[in-house]
């Protein structure tokens, strides 16, 4: 059970774009990298798995898309939502993927390195350039086939961009959402399975989260299906691709290049591999977009209990109709709403409006009440078996600071 909050403390574990932090009203929020008993944690790439979670914690928000650095399951068990910013960095990653395709197709990295090593005066360099440029003849992207694994916010943008460049595009995502399906161009062909995609694509790019289903999904058997001279790109997560199998096929000449955003000792010095230092979302625009999106959603949760873009809790948005609101996170089991309603009714507290939603093993309820809830009723609801967290949410415009 959490007492009503009208001021909130936010612990920032990474540098967050100023445009995002400015969206916290100074009268109601304080934030710092050393904040005791925070109500929320705001971060980017900081690894949270080994830190102690404070009892005061109500929410965690990542100004980015992936959440592998956050103990999501542990937080779910506490009824604590984890927010992220899906799609806010999609354009930044898309542009990097397009750049990587062009780098490989036109041998730009090797050609640049060649020129940097040239010596002599201008005339000597010109002669060397004319003699050496033939070894860097590349190919154009139109008529080539691009395979996109994962059609979330980034994958859809990459697929649509591929079509704009004149490429044939094949996509694969058995869990594509309705929203992303609407955004995906009708010109993108659907692969029946991953093997089909690898068999027909000249360039393959991955855009999936790292989990048990995706770890090592680009394995030796699938890589061997690629046409000779193909390009493999990975700007999603390290671990999705079997590096050992990939290097072996690069050495054999089966694969032209591998370009990724995750340097490692076994990859960074290979002549056919280009590693970037995790630049996918490293643009001022992406950092700003991620920070603004996640701060807005974090505020709406802390102040109103609304949940939007959470990776572990259901979407829940209820307009405020009364000054008194209760939010409840609980195990998704029968009779929970009934027990809560009974506890309120026995104290003559009427439910003016209600929203109850679930996601997997978690359920979440918002209740707008005609009257304030007393401590006795609040304690009774909090003690119901399966209740993870109960919050009292006064409408902030009705209370004094």
The whole-angstrom separation of Cα 241 and Cα 258 is 11
The whole-angstrom separation of Cα 393 and Cα 368 is 9
Output DSSP code: residue 398. Answer: G
pLDDT at 95: 98
The string of pLDDT tens digits covering residues 67-124 is 989 999 999 999 999 999 988 999 999 999 999 999 999 999 999 999 999 999 999 9
Residue 241 β-bridge partners: 218
pLDDT at 318: 97
pTM of the model: 0.82
pLDDT at 395: 82
pLDDT at 1: 55
* Closest listed residue to residue 351, CA positions, set 362, 340, 335: 340
The whole-angstrom separation of Cα 342 and Cα 338 is 6
**pLDDT tens, N- to C-terminus, the chain (401 residues):** 565 667 999 999 999 999 999 999 999 999 999 999 999 999 999 999 999 999 999 999 999 988 989 999 999 999 999 999 988 999 999 999 999 999 999 999 999 999 999 999 999 999 999 989 999 999 999 989 999 999 999 999 999 999 999 999 999 999 999 999 999 999 999 999 999 999 999 999 999 988 899 999 999 999 999 999 999 999 999 999 999 999 999 999 999 999 999 999 999 999 999 999 999 988 999 999 999 999 999 999 999 999 999 999 999 999 998 999 999 999 999 999 999 999 999 999 999 999 999 999 999 999 999 999 999 999 999 999 999 999 999 887 655 54
The whole-angstrom separation of Cα 20 and Cα 30 is 13
Structural contact between residues 151 and 159, judged by C-beta atoms closer than 8 angstroms: yes
The whole-angstrom separation of Cα 188 and Cα 162 is 9
Give CA separation, 150 vs 144, 173, 331, in Å: 19, 5, 30
The whole-angstrom separation of Cα 94 and Cα 146 is 13
Q: Which domains does the chain have, with CATH numbers?
A: 8-86+285-398 (3.40.50.720), 93-275 (3.40.50.720)
Tokens of 196: 């089909």
What kind and span of H or E run contains 339? helix 336-345
Cβ count near 113 (within 10 Å): 10
pLDDT at 290: 96
* Pairing label, strands 255-260, 230-234: parallel
Burial of 331 (0-12, 13-18, 19+ CB in 10 A): middle
């Amino acid at each position: 059970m959490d007492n009503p909050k009208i001021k909130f403390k936010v612990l920032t574990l990474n540098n967050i774009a100023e445009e995002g932090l400015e969206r916290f009203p100074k009268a109601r929020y304080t934030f710092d990298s050393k904040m005791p008993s925070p109500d929320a944690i705001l971060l980017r790439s900081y690894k949270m798995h080994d830190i102690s979670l404070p009892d005061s914690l109500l929410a965690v928000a990542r100004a980015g898309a992936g959440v592998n650095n956050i103990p999501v399951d542990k937080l779910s068990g506490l009824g604590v939502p984890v927010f992220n910013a899906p799609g806010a960095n999609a354009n930044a990653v898309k542009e990097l993927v397009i750049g990587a395709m062009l780098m490989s197709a036109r041998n730009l990295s090797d050609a640049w390195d060649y020129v940097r090593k040239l010596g002599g005066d201008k005339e000597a360099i010109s002669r060397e350039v004319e003699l050496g440029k033939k070894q860097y003849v590349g190919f154009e992207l139109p008529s080539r086939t691009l395979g996109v694994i994962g059609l979330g916010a980034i994958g859809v943008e990459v697929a649509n961009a591929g079509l704009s460049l004149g490429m044939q595009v094949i996509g694969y995502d058995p869990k594509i959402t309705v929203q992303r399906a609407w955004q995906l161009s009708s010109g993108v062909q659907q692969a029946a399975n991953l093997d089909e995609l690898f068999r027909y694509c000249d360039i393959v790019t991955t855009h999936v989260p790292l989990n048990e289903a995706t770890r090592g999904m680009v394995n030796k058997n699938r890589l061997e299906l690629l046409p000779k001279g193909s390009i493999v790109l990975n700007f999603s997560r390290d671990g999705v691709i079997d590096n050992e199998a990939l290097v072996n096929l690069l050495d054999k000449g089966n694969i032209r290049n591998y370009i990724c955003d995750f340097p490692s000792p076994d990859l960074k010095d290979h002549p056919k591999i280009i590693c970037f230092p995790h630049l996918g979302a490293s643009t001022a625009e992406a950092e700003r977009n991620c920070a603004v999106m996640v701060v807005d959603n974090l505020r709406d949760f802390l102040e109103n209990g609304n949940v939007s873009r959470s990776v572990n809790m259901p979407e829940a948005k209820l307009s405020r109709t009364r000054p008194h609101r209760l939010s409840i996170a609980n195990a998704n089991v029968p009779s929970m709403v009934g027990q809560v309603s009974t506890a309120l009714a026995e104290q003559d507290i009427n439910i003016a409006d209600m929203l109850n939603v679930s996601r997997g093993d978690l359920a979440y309820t918002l209740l707008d009440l005609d009257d304030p809830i007393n401590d006795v009723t609040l304690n009774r609801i909090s003690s119901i078996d399966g209740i993870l967290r109960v919050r009292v949410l006064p409408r902030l415009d009705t209370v004094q600071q």
